[in-house]
């Protein structure tokens, strides 16, 4: 039983370390991208607000609120039974589609195309770091 508890705590510790590492990478990438777009870098450190700012300089800040509401509804309604779970799934799907469009808008704002959009969606921290540290210039919403 002690070995099972040790394994559980080791697993939880690993997950926490990975989550913190993921957040740090995201914050560094957002900081550099925000500076390129003319926004103060400190805004990258505030969860949720950093996504709002990204929508603001790449697309439309109102779309951020749509994604937020759809994500919340998708999570809440998806955990229910019956027809509401289907509504939750549709909300989650809508949020995912808007996030893909937002990734495309971000890629285009720095002069990249569909391939970079795919990278932003599936390997976000890596491609965000590429955007932040590359010589790409912010050309504005496209």
pLDDT truncated to tens, each residue of the chain (142 aa)?
688 888 999 999 999 999 999 889 889 999 999 999 999 999 999 989 999 999 999 999 999 999 999 999 999 998 888 888 999 999 999 999 999 999 999 999 999 999 999 999 999 989 999 999 999 999 988 8
Name, in order, each residue with C-beta under 8 angstroms of 82's C-beta and a sequence gap of 6 or more.
none
Coil, strand, or helix at residue 20?
helix
Instruction: Give the count of beta carbons closer than 10 Å to the beta carbon of residue 108.
Output: 19
Coil, strand, or helix at residue 108?
helix
DSSP state of 95: H
Name, in order, each residue with C-beta under 8 angstroms of 20's C-beta and a sequence gap of 6 or more.
none
pTM of the model: 0.85
Q: Please, what is the end-to-end C-alpha distance for the chain in angstroms?
A: 58
């Amino acid at each position: 039983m002690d070995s099972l508890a040790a394994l559980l705590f080791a697993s939880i510790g690993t997950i926490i370390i990975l989550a913190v590492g993921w957040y740090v990478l995201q914050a560094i990438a957002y900081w550099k991208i925000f500076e390129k777009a003319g926004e103060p870098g400190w805004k990258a450190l505030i969860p949720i607000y950093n996504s709002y700012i990204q929508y603001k300089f790449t697309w439309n800040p109102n779309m951020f609120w749509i994604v937020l509401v759809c994500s919340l509804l998708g999570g809440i309604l998806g955990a229910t039974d019956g027809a509401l779970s289907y509504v939750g799934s549709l909300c989650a799907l809508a949020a995912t589609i808007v996030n893909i469009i937002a990734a495309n808008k971000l890629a285009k704002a720095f002069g990249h195309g569909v391939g970079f959009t795919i990278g932003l969606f599936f390997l976000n921290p890596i491609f965000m770091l590429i955007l932040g540290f590359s010589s790409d210039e912010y050309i504005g919403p496209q």
